Amino acid sequence: MNMPKQNSERGFTLLELMVSMALGLIVMAAMASLFKTGMNSTMLVTQRAETQQNMRAAVDLMVKDISMAGAGLPSGGLQLPLAGGATAAKYGCDQGGTCHVTNHTYASNFMYGIIPGYTNGVEGGASIPAAPAPAINDSITVVYADYNFPLSEYDVTFPLAPDGTSICLTPNTAFAATPPPAPNAAGGIQAGDLILINGANGVTAVGEATNVTATTISFANLDPLNFNYSKNGTTTNNVYAVSAGGGYACPPPVTVPQTTQGTAYRLYVVTYYLTVPGAGQTPRLMRQVNGFTPVPVADDIINLQFAFDTYNSTTNALDANQPNPLGVGESPTLIQKVNLVVMGQSIINSGNKSQNMYLATSVSARNLAFRNRYQ
C-alpha cells in the first residue's frame, strides 16, 4: 500500500531571520539618525533666525536714535547749570531716583549729543557669564530734540517777576488755522521730560518738567535729574537765565509780542544698557528715556559694545574705532561715526545648547561736528 507523498514548503531559517532583522534595524537606525539630524538642523535654523530677528529689532531702534544724536542741540553741545549750589545733572535715571548705569552724570555738567559709556553697560555691574572674554559691555546715551510733538509752535514767555520755575505757552499766531495740541495732551509733555528753551537773548537752557498744564510747564527745584535751579540757586545756564529777569502776565496779553522770549522743544535723552533680571532670567537690552521707567528692547542680549570714529583736531585725521574717546581726551562733539556690535544668545535652547551670534553695523552721527579737511 503506497502512502501519499506530502509536499513540504521551504521557510526561513533562523539565520536568515536574524540577518534580515539586523538589516532592518540598521535601516531603521539610519532613518532615525537622519530624522534626528533633520530635527537638529531645523532647531539650529530656528534658533539662528529668532536670534537674528531679535538682534535686528534691537539694532534698528538703536540706529534710529544714534542717527538723530545732536539734533536740535547748539553746535558743540550745551553747558548745564553751574555755580550757586548746582550739582551735576543726571542721565539714565528715573523719577524714583534709581540710576541704571554706574556713571550717570554729565562730564563737567556739559550735555553732548553722544555720551559714550565705556565698560558702563550692565546695570549694577552684574556679571554676564555668557559674554565672551574679556567681558566688556558698554552703554551709550544720545541726546536729540523731539520734532514730532509741535512744542515749537508755542511761544514761550515768562511770568511776572520770573524765578526760572515756570514758563507760559501760547500758540504762535502763525498756526492759528491749525493750532497745536495742548502741551498736556496725550503724547505730549509729562513730568520727567526735558525741555530745551531757546531764548531771544541768545541763551539756551534745559529744564526738567515737574508739572504740565494746557498753558504752563513748571520746573521746580530738587527735580530728580538735577536740571532745575531757580534764580536763588544759580544764575547761569538755567531757565531763569533765559528770561533775562523779565516777564509778562501768564498768559500774556495779546498786545505783548509773544515771540520776544523764545521757543521750546522736548529733548530725548536716551540710554541703552544691559540688565540681568532676577530668578535666573537671561540678560536684557533696555532703553531708558529722560526720567521715565526703562523699557525692554530685546531679550538674550549678552554683549553690547561701541567704538567711535572721532575727528582728531590735532592731526586733522580720523581716529577710527576708539572704544573710549573720553579716556584718551577726545571730545564727543567730534564723533563722526558710531560702530556698534551686539551679541545675542538664542531664545530657544535645544538640549541646553544655545546659539550665539554677532550683529555689527555703523551709524553716521549726521548732526554732530563736521570738519572740512580740504580747507
| Burial of 84 (C-beta count, 10 Å sphere; 0-12/13-18/19+) | middle
- Contact assessment for residue 208 and residue 291, using Cβ atoms and an 8 Å cutoff: yes
Position 114 pLDDT exceeds 90: yes
Is residue 19 situated within a structural domain?
A: no
Is residue 12 situated within a structural domain?
A: no
What residues make up the domain containing 65? 49-364
Strands of 154-157's sheet, edge to edge? 154-157, 166-171, 216-218, 211-212
Is residue 370 situated within a structural domain?
A: no
Per the structure block, which three cell numbers stand in for 158? 515768562
Instruction: Please give the angle made by the CA atoms of 270, 61 and 268, to the nearest 5 degrees.
Output: 25
Per-residue pLDDT, 107? 87
- What does the alpha-carbon distance between residue 90 and residue 226 come to, in Å, rounded to a whole number? 6
Position 23 pLDDT exceeds 70: yes
Amino acid (1-letter code) at residue 135: A
Best-predicted range by mean pLDDT (92-106, 258-272, 303-317):
92-106
For 214-235, the pLDDT digits (tens) are 999 999 988 999 999 887 666 6
Is residue 22 situated within a structural domain?
A: no
Average pLDDT, the chain: 85
Position 374 pLDDT exceeds 50: no
Please compute the mean of the pLDDT values over residues 87-115 and round it to a whole number. Answer: 92
| Cα dist from 16 to 8, 11, 29, 333, whole Å | 19, 10, 20, 84
| Cα dist from 374 to 317, 319, 334, 336, 364, whole Å | 12, 17, 17, 16, 20
- What does the alpha-carbon distance between residue 262 and residue 195 come to, in Å, rounded to a whole number? 12
Please compute the mean of the pLDDT values over residues 25-52 and round it to a whole number. Answer: 74
| pTM for this prediction | 0.85
- What does the alpha-carbon distance between residue 47 and residue 353 come to, in Å, rounded to a whole number? 10
Is residue 187 situated within a structural domain?
A: yes
For 328-360, the pLDDT digits (tens) are 888 888 899 999 999 988 866 544 567 788 899
Please compute the mean of the pLDDT values over residues 99-119 and round it to a whole number. Answer: 93
Give the number of domains in the chain: 1
- What does the alpha-carbon distance between residue 111 and residue 72 come to, in Å, rounded to a whole number? 12
Buried b (16+ CB within 10 A) or exposed e, 143-175: bbbbeebbbbbbbbbbbeebbbbbbbbbbbeee
Percentage of the chain beyond pLDDT 70 is 86
Per-residue pLDDT, 255? 63
Is residue 41 situated within a structural domain?
A: no
For 136-183, the pLDDT digits (tens) are 899 999 999 999 999 999 989 888 888 889 999 988 888 878 999 999
Is residue 29 situated within a structural domain?
A: no
Higher pLDDT: 323 or 251? It is 323
Residues 6+ apart with CB under 8 A from 81: 89, 109, 205, 227, 229, 233, 234, 236, 237, 238
Helix and strand element counts for the chain (H, E): 2, 17
Amino acid (1-letter code) at residue 72: G
Is residue 16 situated within a structural domain?
A: no
